[in-house]
Amino acid sequence: MLTGSSCSGKTTLACEVGARVRGVVVHDHDEIGVPEDADTQWRNRTMELWIRRALEYQDQGLDLLLTGQSPLGEVLACPSAPLLDGIAVCLVDVADDERRRRLARRDGDRWSAAAVEAFVGWSAWHRGHARDPQYRPEVIIEGSWPEMAWHRWSTWTKDDPRWSTHLLDTTDQPLEHSVAILERWISTCQADQAKEYDA
């Protein structure tokens, strides 16, 4: 999973890497459509749909590389998550000022100043969540889909080895550099999963 707030570079990176890494299928969380009233529950239910799709790919010997905004805690809490052979999350991030510039370049004046700052605030929350599962978990738990199993990780601490989000900061980095880092991360995840399966 490539996660993070808008304009960090997730989609661009996923498209580039998907063409290079064997056995990986690339999709975007929102490609199935986003309703006008999209909320946390919609994101939760859609994440569960993607996990079920990942299980289908898993049966074919393929890995799903999904871009979206669901953090590790949300992925782990989805009902079908324990059926996956492995879950790996990479937070694709960028400095706040650069995110603001990218939003303006991509979307013009589509967003109000308050909306832009909401994107920036969401990215700050992602950073905290990536470091520590106890960092403001209510942000994703309150108002969530009742089927979510938050108890799977709600007692974990930041030192728990199961809590692991790779950080990829794209600020001032050439695309090729970020793609190379992401490609290595995916290959390492695949190799680690293969070792665990063989064991």
Residue 37 corresponds to which tokens in the numbers above?
């009233």
DSSP code of residue 182: H
- pTM, rounded to two decimals: 0.92
Evaluate whether 148 touches 47 at the Cβ level (below 8 Å): no
- Average per-residue pLDDT in the chain? 94
Q: What is the mean pLDDT of residues 168-180?
A: 95
Domain ranges of the chain: 2-198
CA distance 18 to 25: 7
The pLDDT tens digits for 28-48 are: 999 999 999 899 999 999 999
For the stretch 111-147, pLDDT in tens is 888 998 999 999 999 999 999 999 999 999 999 999 9
Cβ atoms < 10 Å from Cβ of 22: 8
pLDDT digits (tens, 9 = 90+) for 58-85: 999 999 999 999 999 999 999 999 999 9
pLDDT at 193: 76
Residue that has been written with the tokens 């979206």 in this structure: 68
pLDDT reported for residue 199: 43
Q: What kind and span of H or E run contains 18?
A: helix 10-18
What gap in Å lies between CA 169 and CA 94, rounded to an integer? 5
Domain 2-198: which topology?
Answer: Rossmann fold (3.40.50)
